[in-house]
Amino acid sequence: MSSTPRGLDKLAQGIAEQVVRRVVSALDVNALMHQVDVDELMDRIDVEAVAERIDVDAIVRSVDVDAMMARVDVEAIVERVDVDALVDRVDVAKIIERVDVQAIVDRIDVDALVARIDLDALLTRVSIEDLIDRVDVDALVSRTELGSIIARSTTSVLTEGLDLIRSQGVGLDDFTNRWVNRILRRKGELPAGPPLLLPAALAAGPQPEVGSS
Protein backbone atom coordinates (compact mmCIF):
# COMPACT_ATOMS: atom_id res chain seq x y z
CA MET A 1 0.00 0.00 0.00
CA SER A 2 2.80 2.43 0.89
CA SER A 3 4.76 1.80 -2.28
CA THR A 4 1.86 2.72 -4.53
CA PRO A 5 1.69 6.47 -3.69
CA ARG A 6 5.44 6.77 -4.08
CA GLY A 7 5.28 5.12 -7.48
CA LEU A 8 2.48 7.44 -8.51
CA ASP A 9 4.48 10.48 -7.35
CA LYS A 10 7.49 9.47 -9.44
CA LEU A 11 5.29 8.84 -12.42
CA ALA A 12 3.58 12.20 -12.06
CA GLN A 13 6.96 13.95 -11.65
CA GLY A 14 8.30 12.28 -14.81
CA ILE A 15 5.22 13.21 -16.79
CA ALA A 16 5.38 16.80 -15.59
CA GLU A 17 9.05 17.17 -16.56
CA GLN A 18 8.39 15.79 -20.03
CA VAL A 19 5.42 18.13 -20.49
CA VAL A 20 7.49 21.16 -19.40
CA ARG A 21 10.35 20.27 -21.73
CA ARG A 22 7.98 19.86 -24.64
CA VAL A 23 6.18 23.12 -23.85
CA VAL A 24 9.47 25.02 -23.56
CA SER A 25 10.84 23.55 -26.75
CA ALA A 26 7.64 24.42 -28.54
CA LEU A 27 7.51 27.91 -27.11
CA ASP A 28 8.63 30.75 -29.43
CA VAL A 29 10.40 33.03 -26.98
CA ASN A 30 11.00 35.78 -29.55
CA ALA A 31 7.35 35.91 -30.48
CA LEU A 32 6.43 35.95 -26.81
CA MET A 33 8.82 38.87 -26.12
CA HIS A 34 7.30 40.84 -28.97
CA GLN A 35 3.94 40.53 -27.30
CA VAL A 36 5.23 41.85 -24.00
CA ASP A 37 4.68 45.57 -23.38
CA VAL A 38 7.90 46.43 -21.61
CA ASP A 39 6.81 49.99 -20.75
CA GLU A 40 3.65 48.74 -19.09
CA LEU A 41 5.64 46.08 -17.28
CA MET A 42 8.13 48.67 -15.94
CA ASP A 43 5.29 50.92 -14.84
CA ARG A 44 3.90 48.06 -12.72
CA ILE A 45 7.24 47.47 -10.98
CA ASP A 46 7.65 49.23 -7.65
CA VAL A 47 11.32 50.22 -8.01
CA GLU A 48 11.53 51.74 -4.53
CA ALA A 49 10.22 48.54 -2.95
CA VAL A 50 12.74 46.50 -4.93
CA ALA A 51 15.58 48.85 -3.96
CA GLU A 52 14.64 48.63 -0.27
CA ARG A 53 14.89 44.85 -0.40
CA ILE A 54 18.40 44.97 -1.88
CA ASP A 55 21.22 44.70 0.65
CA VAL A 56 23.82 46.91 -1.04
CA ASP A 57 26.38 46.38 1.72
CA ALA A 58 26.15 42.62 1.34
CA ILE A 59 26.56 42.95 -2.43
CA VAL A 60 29.62 45.19 -2.03
CA ARG A 61 31.17 42.82 0.52
CA SER A 62 30.71 39.93 -1.86
CA VAL A 63 32.53 41.74 -4.69
CA ASP A 64 36.19 40.72 -5.06
CA VAL A 65 37.66 44.07 -6.13
CA ASP A 66 41.18 42.68 -6.60
CA ALA A 67 39.93 39.93 -8.89
CA MET A 68 37.80 42.42 -10.81
CA MET A 69 40.71 44.87 -11.26
CA ALA A 70 42.97 42.02 -12.35
CA ARG A 71 40.58 41.30 -15.22
CA VAL A 72 40.60 44.95 -16.37
CA ASP A 73 42.89 45.64 -19.32
CA VAL A 74 44.02 49.17 -18.43
CA GLU A 75 46.19 49.54 -21.55
CA ALA A 76 43.25 48.70 -23.78
CA ILE A 77 41.12 51.29 -21.97
CA VAL A 78 43.82 53.97 -22.32
CA GLU A 79 44.26 53.21 -26.02
CA ARG A 80 40.55 53.77 -26.57
CA VAL A 81 40.64 57.18 -24.88
CA ASP A 82 40.79 60.08 -27.36
CA VAL A 83 43.12 62.37 -25.41
CA ASP A 84 42.94 65.18 -27.99
CA ALA A 85 39.15 65.24 -27.88
CA LEU A 86 39.27 65.15 -24.08
CA VAL A 87 41.71 68.08 -23.91
CA ASP A 88 39.67 70.07 -26.43
CA ARG A 89 36.68 69.84 -24.10
CA VAL A 90 38.66 71.22 -21.15
CA ASP A 91 38.16 74.94 -20.53
CA VAL A 92 41.71 75.82 -19.42
CA ALA A 93 40.92 79.52 -18.93
CA LYS A 94 38.06 78.68 -16.58
CA ILE A 95 40.28 76.31 -14.60
CA ILE A 96 42.98 78.97 -14.25
CA GLU A 97 40.40 81.52 -13.07
CA ARG A 98 39.43 79.15 -10.25
CA VAL A 99 43.05 78.68 -9.12
CA ASP A 100 43.99 80.80 -6.10
CA VAL A 101 47.57 81.63 -7.11
CA GLN A 102 48.19 83.73 -4.00
CA ALA A 103 47.21 80.84 -1.74
CA ILE A 104 49.63 78.58 -3.61
CA VAL A 105 52.44 81.13 -3.31
CA ASP A 106 51.76 81.57 0.40
CA ARG A 107 52.22 77.83 0.93
CA ILE A 108 55.61 77.76 -0.80
CA ASP A 109 58.59 77.72 1.57
CA VAL A 110 61.01 79.85 -0.44
CA ASP A 111 63.85 79.41 2.06
CA ALA A 112 63.58 75.62 1.91
CA LEU A 113 63.37 75.78 -1.88
CA VAL A 114 66.51 77.93 -2.16
CA ALA A 115 68.34 75.74 0.35
CA ARG A 116 67.80 72.72 -1.92
CA ILE A 117 69.38 74.47 -4.93
CA ASP A 118 72.97 73.35 -5.62
CA LEU A 119 74.49 76.63 -6.79
CA ASP A 120 77.86 75.05 -7.56
CA ALA A 121 76.27 72.45 -9.83
CA LEU A 122 74.14 75.17 -11.41
CA LEU A 123 77.13 77.42 -12.14
CA THR A 124 79.16 74.54 -13.58
CA ARG A 125 76.43 74.08 -16.18
CA VAL A 126 76.58 77.74 -17.24
CA SER A 127 78.78 78.42 -20.26
CA ILE A 128 80.28 81.87 -19.63
CA GLU A 129 81.65 82.05 -23.18
CA ASP A 130 78.25 81.35 -24.72
CA LEU A 131 76.74 83.93 -22.37
CA ILE A 132 79.26 86.59 -23.42
CA ASP A 133 78.82 85.73 -27.11
CA ARG A 134 75.09 86.40 -26.77
CA VAL A 135 75.68 89.91 -25.36
CA ASP A 136 75.13 92.56 -28.04
CA VAL A 137 77.78 95.09 -26.97
CA ASP A 138 76.88 97.57 -29.72
CA ALA A 139 73.23 97.57 -28.70
CA LEU A 140 74.23 97.89 -25.05
CA VAL A 141 76.45 100.91 -25.77
CA SER A 142 73.79 102.50 -27.95
CA ARG A 143 71.29 102.32 -25.07
CA THR A 144 73.67 104.07 -22.66
CA GLU A 145 75.40 107.48 -22.64
CA LEU A 146 78.83 105.87 -22.63
CA GLY A 147 79.71 107.27 -26.06
CA SER A 148 78.74 110.83 -25.14
CA ILE A 149 80.61 110.52 -21.81
CA ILE A 150 83.77 109.41 -23.61
CA ALA A 151 83.38 112.22 -26.17
CA ARG A 152 82.93 114.87 -23.47
CA SER A 153 85.86 113.52 -21.46
CA THR A 154 88.13 113.47 -24.52
CA THR A 155 87.10 117.01 -25.51
CA SER A 156 87.72 118.30 -21.99
CA VAL A 157 91.20 116.73 -21.82
CA LEU A 158 92.17 118.09 -25.24
CA THR A 159 90.90 121.57 -24.35
CA GLU A 160 92.85 121.64 -21.09
CA GLY A 161 95.97 120.43 -22.91
CA LEU A 162 95.70 123.12 -25.56
CA ASP A 163 95.15 125.79 -22.92
CA LEU A 164 98.24 124.60 -21.05
CA ILE A 165 100.35 124.63 -24.23
CA ARG A 166 99.11 128.10 -25.13
CA SER A 167 99.81 129.51 -21.67
CA GLN A 168 103.31 128.01 -21.67
CA GLY A 169 103.90 129.48 -25.13
CA VAL A 170 102.83 132.93 -23.98
CA GLY A 171 105.06 132.68 -20.92
CA LEU A 172 108.03 131.65 -23.09
CA ASP A 173 107.39 134.56 -25.48
CA ASP A 174 107.24 136.99 -22.57
CA PHE A 175 110.45 135.60 -21.10
CA THR A 176 112.21 135.88 -24.47
CA ASN A 177 110.97 139.45 -25.02
CA ARG A 178 112.27 140.58 -21.63
CA TRP A 179 115.73 139.21 -22.35
CA VAL A 180 115.81 140.80 -25.80
CA ASN A 181 114.71 144.15 -24.36
CA ARG A 182 117.43 144.05 -21.72
CA ILE A 183 120.10 143.09 -24.25
CA LEU A 184 119.03 145.89 -26.63
CA ARG A 185 118.64 148.29 -23.65
CA ARG A 186 115.08 149.20 -24.66
CA LYS A 187 113.25 151.51 -22.28
CA GLY A 188 109.62 152.37 -21.77
CA GLU A 189 106.48 150.33 -21.33
CA LEU A 190 106.58 147.39 -23.70
CA PRO A 191 103.62 145.14 -24.62
CA ALA A 192 103.30 142.03 -22.48
CA GLY A 193 102.83 139.87 -25.57
CA PRO A 194 100.82 139.38 -28.75
CA PRO A 195 97.34 140.89 -28.40
CA LEU A 196 95.54 137.56 -29.21
CA LEU A 197 97.51 135.62 -26.61
CA LEU A 198 97.36 138.16 -23.77
CA PRO A 199 94.34 136.53 -22.04
CA ALA A 200 96.17 133.18 -21.89
CA ALA A 201 99.29 134.87 -20.52
CA LEU A 202 97.35 136.64 -17.79
CA ALA A 203 95.69 133.32 -16.83
CA ALA A 204 99.13 131.65 -16.53
CA GLY A 205 100.24 134.22 -13.94
CA PRO A 206 103.33 136.45 -13.74
CA GLN A 207 106.63 135.10 -15.03
CA PRO A 208 109.84 135.35 -12.99
CA GLU A 209 111.99 138.42 -13.56
CA VAL A 210 115.32 137.92 -15.30
CA GLY A 211 118.24 139.74 -13.75
CA SER A 212 120.67 141.90 -15.73
CA SER A 213 123.91 140.39 -16.88
Residue 3, pLDDT > 60, answer: no
- Convert the pLDDT of each residue in 166-182 to its tens digit: 666 666 666 677 766 67
Burial class of residue 54, CB neighbours in 10 A (0-12, 13-18, 19+): exposed
Q: Averaging pLDDT over each range in 20-29, 73-82, 174-183, which range is the top one? A: 73-82
Better pLDDT: 90 or 157: 90
**Could you tell me the maximum CA-CA distance found in the chain, to the nearest angstrom?**
191
The model's confidence at residue 196, banded by pLDDT at 50, 70 and 90, is: low
The pLDDT of residue 186: 64
Q: CA-CA distance, 171 to 154, in Å (whole number)?
A: 26
- At residue 129, does pLDDT exceed 80? yes
Which residue did the predictor score with more confidence, 27 or 98? Answer: 98
Distances (CA, A) of 27 to 13, 17, 118, 170, 172: 21, 15, 83, 142, 145
- Give per-residue pLDDT as tens, 138-166: 777 677 666 666 666 666 666 776 767 76
Is residue 204 within 8 A of residue 171, CB to CB? The reply is yes
Cβ proximity of 175 and 210 under 8 Å: yes
Residue 210 has pLDDT above 50, yes or no: no
Angstrom distance (rounded) from CA 40 to CA 37: 5
CA–CA separation, 187 and 181 (whole Å): 8
**Does 51 have pLDDT greater than 60?**
yes
Handedness of CA 24, 25, 30, 34 (dihedral sign): negative
At 185 the pLDDT is 66
For residues 147 and 141, give the distance between their C-alpha atoms in angstroms, rounded to a whole number.
7
Those residues with Cβ within 8 angstroms of residue 207's Cβ, 6 or more apart along the chain or in another chain: 171, 174, 175, 178
One-letter amino acid at 2 equals S
pLDDT of residue 211: 45
Count of residues making up the chain: 213
What is the model's pLDDT at position 149?
Answer: 67
Contact 174, 193 (CB under 8 A): yes
Q: Domain coordinates of the chain in residue numbers?
A: 146-204
Rounded to an integer, the average pLDDT of 8-29 is 81
Point out the least confidently predicted range of 85-99, 100-114, 182-196: 182-196
Q: State mean pLDDT over 184-189.
A: 61
